[in-house]
Chains A and B, each alone.
Chain A
Amino acid sequence: MIEPWWISVIKAILIVNLVMVAFAFMTWVERKLIGRMQRRYGPNRAGPFGLLQPIADLVKLIRKEAFAPASAIDVLYILSPALAAFTAIAAFAVIPWGPGWDVGGYRVDGWILNVPISLILLFAIGSLGIYGFIVGGWASESKFPLLGAMRTCAQMVSYEVALALSVLGVVIMGRSLSLVDIVERQQDTLWFVIPQFIGFLAFFIAGIAETNRAPFDLPEAESELVAGYHTEYSGMRYGLYANAEYINMITLSGLAVTLFLGGWSGPFLPGPIWFLIKLAVFLVVFIWLRATLPRLRYDQLMTFGWKVLLPVTTANAVVTAALVVAI
């Protein structure tokens, strides 16, 4: 049975809204959790436990003056945050969060989009998102954003290679590029984190570098580059960049759950609940890393990406291929 198109549309609207709500909630969780790790309370004034803080931030950003540098290239300057945010949310479409149900005679899939090459689609959309960061920094026509954009570009492109290679082991074991097939295969055999542990670590580290999170957050480090590529952005334009960053984080965690941790499978609870629990674990690890580790210097970052991660992931793919063919 094929899912009717209108159910896909309703699901798409619902998922986009849920992802945005997850982004807002994520900012609250990050501030509270980092606060607690630093022996202080996070925000606790706006609403009970500071739960209305994201709404306060939203209103603040919307009400801010949206200035632009006089020499900025208008079209690119305005479009790039939108591009970054759009690709971040669009990449979430291929992630399966449930097994699919039959409701009232209609089929409701547990994903918005399933094509035989979902994984490549996700990487392609993610790479388009990099344009959002680079073009935004460049179109600001100002030195610090330009430097930040160049560093962002170099970092994201180098770790993109390692990211794709680390996934190759999973693809070989899962015999398919479609995320739904990979999840279903993990239900039949093992969760891929156990045989592909090195691939999992490499994927996670490359993922942290892809999303510009600590300790790889040199592009947006305040002490080094003012604010990197989003220096000249204010108000909701900056809000869109923050949106893109957090939703990239959520998408990457969702991908890690799907590829390595068995997606939505789990014993008693329904599929989406398990997906959310595993996603939450990854997001907490992202926050934990940010609270603990100092920032990597730029040359250390590039050295690590090319000289350590790339050989490791290549070796992982080769060994996996050899073992899969042999067994």
Chain B
Amino acid sequence: MSPQPLDTLKGFGVTFRQIFQKPITQQYPEYKRPLYPRFRGRHRLWRHENGLEKCVGCSLCAAACPADCIRVVPAENTPDNRVSAGERYARIYEINLSRCIFCGYCELACPFDAITLEQEFEISEYSRDDLIYTKDMLLAEPIKRVPVADKELYDTPEPYWKEHS
């Protein structure tokens, strides 16, 4: 007797057995997979301890961006309006998140550690215009909705400036 009909029947047994095994699907909003510490999510602009912004509007990030999605318009820091810790500040700082490829080059290019990529990735919007993040939105604290993975599990250390800024 040829092996074929018996093999087909064994196949039926396989699919039948799978019904009683636990599915391997992870149900997303109830269970969120923890992210690795250097996960590249939404951007964030940082401030110093005394409240001055770190970003001086040098637009090295805009120059480094492969997708050309950062727009920086600098302005002079005047004595009565001192925004950043240098001679100039970024008057307009916008990132078009629909163009951004989340590569992290802006984070690497910034000499002042002013911009980093944090761990927020749930940034969907209903219209494309809402995806252009302005400076206030980027300065704001990202909402911590996603668990961060245990640092003990990852043997690659964090960059120096991430822990010391």
Using CB atoms and an 8 Å cutoff, list the residues of chain A in contact with chain B.
33, 35-41, 44, 288, 291-293
CB <8 Å contact, B11 and A292: yes
CB distance from A284 to the nearest CB of B (A): 10
Task: Give the complex CA separation of A288 and B24 in angstroms.
Answer: 20
Judge whether B126 is part of the interface by a CB distance below 8 angstroms: no
What are 16 residue pairs bridging A and B, where the CB atoms are less than 8 Å apart in the complex? A33-B19, A35-B23, A36-B18, A37-B15, A37-B19, A38-B18, A39-B18, A39-B22, A40-B23, A40-B25, A44-B27, A291-B15, A292-B8, A292-B14, A292-B15, A293-B8
Task: Give the complex CA separation of A288 and B9 in angstroms.
Answer: 11
CB <8 Å contact, B24 and A39: yes
CB <8 Å contact, B8 and A41: no
CB <8 Å contact, B12 and A292: yes
Residues of B within 8 A of A41 (CB): 23, 25, 27
Task: Give the complex CA separation of A293 and B14 in angstroms.
Answer: 11
Residues of A within 8 A of B14 (CB): 292
Task: Give the complex CA separation of A35 and B145 in angstroms.
Answer: 29
Interface residues of B in 1-32 (CB under 8 A from A): 8, 11-12, 14-16, 18-19, 21-25, 27
Interface residues of B in 23-56 (CB under 8 A from A): 23-25, 27
Residues of B within 8 A of A37 (CB): 15-16, 18-19
Residues of B within 8 A of A36 (CB): 18-19, 23
Residues of B within 8 A of A293 (CB): 8, 11
CB distance from B19 to the nearest CB of A (A): 5
CB distance from A8 to the nearest CB of B (A): 41
Name the residue of chain A whose CB is nearest to the CB of B8: A293
Residues of A within 8 A of B16 (CB): 37, 288
CB distance from A300 to the nearest CB of B (A): 12
CB <8 Å contact, A39 and B23: yes
Given A36-B19, A38-B18, list of 17 further CB < 8 A pairs? Answer: A33-B19, A35-B23, A36-B18, A36-B23, A37-B16, A37-B18, A37-B19, A39-B18, A39-B23, A39-B24, A40-B24, A41-B27, A288-B15, A291-B15, A292-B11, A292-B12, A293-B11
